[in-house]
Amino acid sequence: MLTSPDVASGIAEQRQFFATGKTKDLSFRIEQLKRLQQAIQENELIIHQALQADLNKPRFESYASEVLVCLEEIKYALKHIKSWVKPQKVTPSLAQFPASLKVYAEPLGVVLIIGPWNYPFQLIIAPLVGAIAAGNCAVMKPSEIAPHTSKLVAKLITQYFDPTFITVVEGSKEVSQQLLEEKFDHIFFTGGTEIGKIVMQAAGKQLTPVTLELGGKSPCIVDADTPLELTARRIAWGKFMNAGQTCIAPDYLLVDKRIKAPLLEEIKRNIHDFYGDDPATSPDYGRIVSDRHFQRLDGLLDAGKIIIGGQTNRGDRYIAPTVVDEVSWEDTVMQEEIFGPILPVLEYSDLPEAIAQVNAQPKPLALYFFSNNQQRQQQVLQETTSGGACINDTISHIVSPNLPFGGVGASGIGRYRGKASFDTFSYQRSVLNKPFWLDLPIRYAPYQGKLKWLKRLIR
């Protein structure tokens, strides 16, 4: 682990290690991926304890949404890495004949991974899998807002990896600013849009490419033609898991007014099924990560009419699963990403109206649509834009390494997960290899009389 004053020297040591070429070796990459897998498996309980201390995550959520996601990512990389690193042959043009053309996936060098606080283990370890698989060295900066998980990540990386290959820098936002002043070969940032702008601005000074996994107001549209009980259950699950502190949680409900009342009743019933009479006493319901975030969310409860929940406890940083009706786009709760257990409800009369409301906002990270009608499903997908989408579910599209994950516009730049992670931390090196046994004189000066032959050649 690096301390703040050691940052520059630590990066220099990583560059020296990268220059040896060892990280390009396939067997080295596989060994490091297996070592990361071992670190997670051997410390699963300790990881949960850190997540519980930071966010009061239940054991099931700690494993399913943090540990398991990382293990599946590693498993997928180990299964496919040999094909990923294999040079890809491409067909030469007639003008290049005789030559062989190949595209090599090359590592970028020393990369910086900055993690968020809401899934503080998964969202810094999952990108690391791609960085290792692609053959890079990495500097990791966990979020100081989840201090127990930050400390744990630093401990595990120090215990299982050589710091000249992977290291962790802990500290406040000032440490992050110091890191951003250094030269990296790629910066991978997960967090809020405003901080993402700062990261991108800093990267621009160094001409450093970035991947920005941001957020936004992810809509959940509910058509009248949908099974209300199951729809409500899936919405409540996606919204209130991790106390709503999920970048792809449904941020607001946009429901056909004909079914709004029964849908909200079903959501209320499912919240009770999940967390009992008093969610504050449920072992399966999380807490807000910090006093500052609690205060911000508490202020959002002033808008509209609370029809479910609304109870808070500042000392415990508890906010009940809450549904707010009678809100408008002018209310503060609809002006910013909520990132908490508050679900505002809007209604619409017909689907084009709902689509128009969604399209009037910045492009979201996720979009959810519930309907049995396949024509309407296709209409929503064709007429909206979002980083990812689920039809008749929430959240689940992030689970599979086969699906690239990322935003669009204000919700993010770039993709990761599975092969997309490998590609993010690689660059494509195009290589032409030409023998000496044939050398056509047509391409060499003098060009007198050769143009007509060139035109015939390329027809």
Q: Provide the greatest CA pair distance for the chain.
A: 90
Q: Report the predicted TM-score, pTM, of the whole model to 2 decimal places.
A: 0.95
| 73 included as an active-site residue | no
Rounded Cα distance, 180 and 175, in Å: 9
Alpha carbon dihedral 119, 309, 313, 65, in 10-degree steps, equals: -10
Model confidence band, residue 459 (pLDDT cutoffs 50, 70, 90)? low
Q: Is 443 exposed, middle or buried (0-12, 13-18, 19+ CB in 10 A)?
A: exposed
Q: Among the options 13, 61, 213, 337, which is catalytic?
A: 213
Q: What are phi and psi of 288, to 5 degrees?
A: -70, 145
| 219: preceding bond cis by omega (within 30 degrees) | no
Instruction: Convert the pLDDT of each residue in 223-255 to its tens digit.
Output: 999 999 999 999 999 999 999 999 999 999 999
Contacts with 63 (C-beta within 8 Å, 6 or more apart), sequence order:
44, 48
Task: For residue range 358-367, list pLDDT tens digits in order.
Answer: 999 999 999 9
Which tokens sit at 19? 């220059």
Domain with CATH 3.40.605.10 in the chain: 4-214+408-431
The amino acid sitting at 125 is I
| CATH superfamily for domain 4-214+408-431 | Aldehyde Dehydrogenase; Chain A, domain 1 (3.40.605.10)
Whether 353 sits among the annotated catalytic residues: the reply is no
- Which segments of the chain belong to CATH 3.40.309.10? 219-398
Q: What is the mean pLDDT of residues 397-404?
A: 92
The encoded tokens of residue 33 equal 């991926």
Element (H, E) at 128: helix 122-134
pLDDT number for residue 457: 73
Asked if residue 407 lies in contact with residue 367, where contact means CB atoms within 8 angstroms, the answer is: no
Terminal C-alpha separation, the chain: 60
Tell me: pLDDT of 173 over 90.
Answer: no
CATH superfamily of 219-398: Aldehyde Dehydrogenase; Chain A, domain 2 (3.40.309.10)
| Tokens at 290, concatenated | 């910090």
Q: Which of 247, 266, 337, 390 is catalytic?
A: 247
